[in-house]
Amino acid sequence: ENISLDYSNSFVREHELRHLEEYISLAHHILHEKKGAGSEYLGWLDYPKNYDIEEFKKVKETALNIRKNSEVFIVIGIGGSYLGSRACIEGLNHSFYNQLCSEKRNGPEIYFVGNNVSSTYIFELLELIEDKSLSINVISKSGTTTEPAIAFRIFREYMNNKYGKEAKDRIYITTDKEKGILKEMSKNEGYETFTVPDSIGGRYSVLTSVGLLPIAVAGIDIDMLMEGAKEGMEEYSALDIDKNYSYQYALLRNILYRKGKDIEILASYEPSLHYFQEWWKQLFGESEGKDLKGIYPSSANFTTDLHSLGQLIQDGKRNIFETTINIEKVRKDIEIKKEQEDLDGLNFLSGKTIDFVNKKAFEGTLLAHTKGGVPNIIINIPEMNEKYFGKLIYFFQKSCAISGYLMGVNPFDQPGVEEYKKNMFKLIGKPGY
Ligand code: PA5
């Protein structure tokens, strides 16, 4: 049992992989020998093996403490500073985690803020958490990002009003180890801090304290998550593209891109993977979309979106390819029972399960989209647990780095993101802009 990849419906022929195999080898060496663009941001590459054990221990202890003393946990961050933890929490925990009664949830409700500038969202979140005990984690590598900074100002006031001097014991900051406003503020106010390593950019940071603290607060086993990532780190370092599915995926995307497929849809039949798809979009979009190049990463949740986007995928412009995350064994399945009177006409399904129908929907969609000329890549995951989640994170991170080098871009910078920030700073009257 392992993560596997099936490209038999991608219209890519075996020899096409062979013709480009050497480029993978080149990208691998550039990456591992730290000779490529952005090589100062390769801390994530061996992080599952070389992570800071003391910091990891502190994450676990703090999470335990928060789980004991807080009914609500607020995560303030944007982009790489929140998508990974949200992906993991929503992907692995109960679909209705926040709505469960506290005995069943067995941990605080978790909400994310500071990932938009919606006053309504912030206001209504404050209304929701009224009267509940609370801890917050502010995550910002730079400390200067406007969205989380504004949210923190509002929540800081709320915490100070609610807890007075004790507020500082419920505010946790994840930021640069020595620089920035948040570090400064933590020293002055006495907030506990966690470190975003210098050599790891936001979108590659889910396995550092950035992702791990919220994930551990949600009761997820971060040891197993790291174990899975470590397995990925070993497996996805092999140069043989027939065995290294992470590299194979990078190569397939590149071949399809060269054929004019410049939109990729990451599809899933499990709604709980919605934020995983969002994380993936950021990873690939920010890493590859530059210098007037890039595959546009989009996502679809099936079967929901088959009733909306399905038409375009089937019959629209042929510039799309699909990658489907297929969870082989679902967390929970439900048997469809036989009814005496077959009023809804569904007795033909009795004895089958709902996941059986979901898998057939997937098979049917695959056949239809392939017939419509949409290349399909399938990534099979035996089941969604901590270990496979950690491994899948590493799978995509590695693949993205290789894919970026194949594309001839720096996969570790994001100059384009700065443009809107500068405009906004000017427009809101930030001094110096
Ligand atoms: O991937 C990235 O670098 C970005 O998406 C950042 O994570 C995002 O802009 C937030 O930055 P910061 O953590 O500095 O607040």
Whether the CB of 202 sits within 6 Å of ligand 1: yes
Give the model's pLDDT for residue 421: 85
Give the model's pLDDT for residue 243: 95
Rounded-to-integer distance, Cα 40 and Cα 112, Å: 30
Give the model's pLDDT for residue 13: 97
Give the model's pLDDT for residue 419: 86
Rounded-to-integer distance, Cα 412 and Cα 427, Å: 28
Q: Which residues of the chain have pLDDT under 70?
A: none
Give the model's pLDDT for residue 239: 94
Alpha carbon nearest to ligand 1 atom 8, residue: 79
Cα–ligand 1 centroid distance for 387 (angstroms): 26
Render 195-257 in DSSP notation, one character per residue.
E--TT--GGG-TTSHHHHHHHHHTT--HHHHHHHHHHHHHHTT-S-TTT-HHHHHHHHHHHHH
Ligand 1 probe mutation, 116, 140, 141, 174, most atoms within 8 A of CB: 141
Whether the CB of 230 sits within 6 Å of ligand 1: no
Q: Is the interface score ipTM higher than 0.85?
A: yes
Ligand 1 probe mutation, 44, 81, 183, most atoms within 8 A of CB: 81
pTM of the predicted structure, to 2 decimals = 0.97
Side chain identity, residue 328: E
Whether the CB of 140 sits within 6 Å of ligand 1: yes
Rounded-to-integer distance, Cα 430 and Cα 433, Å: 6
Angstrom CA distances, 159 to 32, 145, 149, 336, 365, stand at 45, 21, 15, 49, 50
Active-site residue list: 286, 421
Cα–ligand 1 centroid distance for 202 (angstroms): 5
Tens digit of each residue's pLDDT (9 = 90 or more) over 58-73: 999 999 999 999 999 9
Give the model's pLDDT for residue 232: 98
| Strand 192-195 versus strand 171-175 pairing type | parallel
* Structure token pair of residue 356: 């059986």
Give the model's pLDDT for residue 119: 98
Whether the CB of 289 sits within 6 Å of ligand 1: no
Whether the CB of 322 sits within 6 Å of ligand 1: no
* Structure token pair of residue 126: 């404050």
Residue 94: strand pairing partners = none
